[in-house]
Amino acid sequence: MSDSHRRSLLIIALGFGAVAFTSCRNEDADAYGNFEATEVTVAAEVGGRLLELRLDEGDRVSRGAVVGAVDTVPLILERRATAARRAAAAARAREANTTIAALEVQQTIADRELARTERLLKNAAATAQQGDRAEREARVVKEQLAGARVGRAALSQEVAALDAQVALIDERLARSRIISPLDGTILTRYVEPGEFVQQGQPLFKLASLDSLTFRAYVSGSQLTSLRLGQAVRVGVDRADSIATLAGRLTWISSVAEFTPTPIQTRDERADQVYAVKVAVKNPDGVLRIGQPGELLLGNAEVEEVGTN
């Protein structure tokens, strides 16, 4: 076969391929875009060695499910030491209460003795020395009682501070468990069990794929035909056709922008457009993040779908 013949066959094949590609494209589409999802990156809330992480990319997890844990032995030891200091402070506080109770009894007796001595002094039945001694004893007991009460207040504050430290450690222990914040699918896993992780270090990323958001760009002239909550259709490529899915318009940008590079031709990118978002249910998981699609405006009866 000659080179010219081969080139002719190649041109014919490319022509058929172009026809096949354009036949799957809906020329009546109002806009083009891609599917996206709200992705959440879960990070370590405490630092330590990662004991386990029970998930793999592609796994589905439920909201509130415990999927891993960070080593808590240092925190447990710290809690025990803090609890011991708290118990000692509480014991000293109880001892201070006992001391205060005894001093209050002594103060009652000293005040009574001082009052009796003062009556005797008025009747010249007691000496000045006895009066001074009774006054001194009453004053000493009063000062001792005041000091004991101050000490008890300080111990109460120490116990409260240690209680707060124990509560803080308990909260850190709770955060050492790695919990899924939503129902979703694991997109990326960043660490492996046995690694030492820092507080705030990303562990994995997930997204809810039950309902995806289709982001497209429409011209200014199309805005008058759009409204929030409007039922629309979104077309996606299949083997040899375009499947149409029901959607609902959930967001319309209030700011014009230049169309992103991958969406339109160079000439069309020179025009300013408005971004819109359409919520599309994806119960069977047939849609993918980043998958291209086309927006078809007009009336359509659709089921209620989630919003972005």
Assigned domain for 148 exists: yes
* CATH number for the domain that contains residue 286: 2.40.30.170
Q: Say if residues 67 and 54 touch (Cβ distance below 8 Å).
A: yes
Q: Are residues 198 and 234 in the same domain?
A: no
For the residues 137-160, what does the mean pLDDT come to?
92
Q: Are residues 264 and 240 in the same domain?
A: yes
Average pLDDT, the chain: 83
Q: How many CB atoms lie within 10 A of CB 74?
A: 12
Residues in the chain: 308
Assigned domain for 303 exists: no
Residues 6+ apart with CB under 8 A from 105: none
% pLDDT > 90, the chain: 56
Q: Binning pLDDT at 50, 70 and 90, where does residue 53 land?
A: very high
DSSP string for 261-303: TTTS-HHHHTSEEEEEEEEEE-TT----TT-EEEEE-S-----
Assigned domain for 83 exists: yes
Q: Are residues 82 and 165 in the same domain?
A: yes
Assigned domain for 228 exists: yes
Q: Are residues 58 and 185 in the same domain?
A: yes
Assigned domain for 232 exists: yes
- Report the candidate in 211, 184, 179, 177 with the shortest Cα–Cα distance to residue 61: 184
Residue 301 phi/psi, 5-degree rounding, is: -85, 115
pLDDT of residue 13: 37
pLDDT of residue 306: 40
Q: Are residues 68 and 183 in the same domain?
A: yes
pLDDT of residue 3: 46
Q: Are residues 256 and 108 in the same domain?
A: no
Q: Binning pLDDT at 50, 70 and 90, where does residue 68 land?
A: very high
Q: Are residues 49 and 192 in the same domain?
A: yes
The parent domain of residue 200 ranges over 41-72+177-206
Helix (H, G, I), strand (E, B) or coil at 72: coil
Question: How many structural domains are present in the chain?
Answer: 3
User: 126, 157, 174: which is the final residue of a domain?
Assistant: 174
Assigned domain for 301 exists: no
pLDDT of residue 8: 43
User: 166, 187, 206: which is the final residue of a domain?
Assistant: 206
Using alpha carbons only, what angle is made at residue 124 by residues 123 and 126, rounded to the nearest 5 degrees?
110
Q: Are residues 201 and 121 in the same domain?
A: no
Q: Are residues 30 and 106 in the same domain?
A: no
* CATH number for the domain that contains residue 187: 2.40.50.100
Question: For residue 16, how far is the Cα from the chain centroid?
Answer: 52
Q: Are residues 137 and 254 in the same domain?
A: no
Assigned domain for 159 exists: yes
Q: Are residues 244 and 255 in the same domain?
A: yes
Tens of pLDDT, residue by residue over 161-219, are 999 999 999 999 999 999 999 999 999 999 999 999 999 999 999 999 999 999 999 88
Outline where the chain has alpha helix (H): 3-23, 73-122, 128-175, 266-269
Q: Are residues 125 and 241 in the same domain?
A: no
User: 174, 194, 225: which is the final residue of a domain?
Assistant: 174
Q: Per mean pLDDT, which range of 50-54, 142-146, 297-301 is the poorest?
A: 297-301
Assigned domain for 167 exists: yes
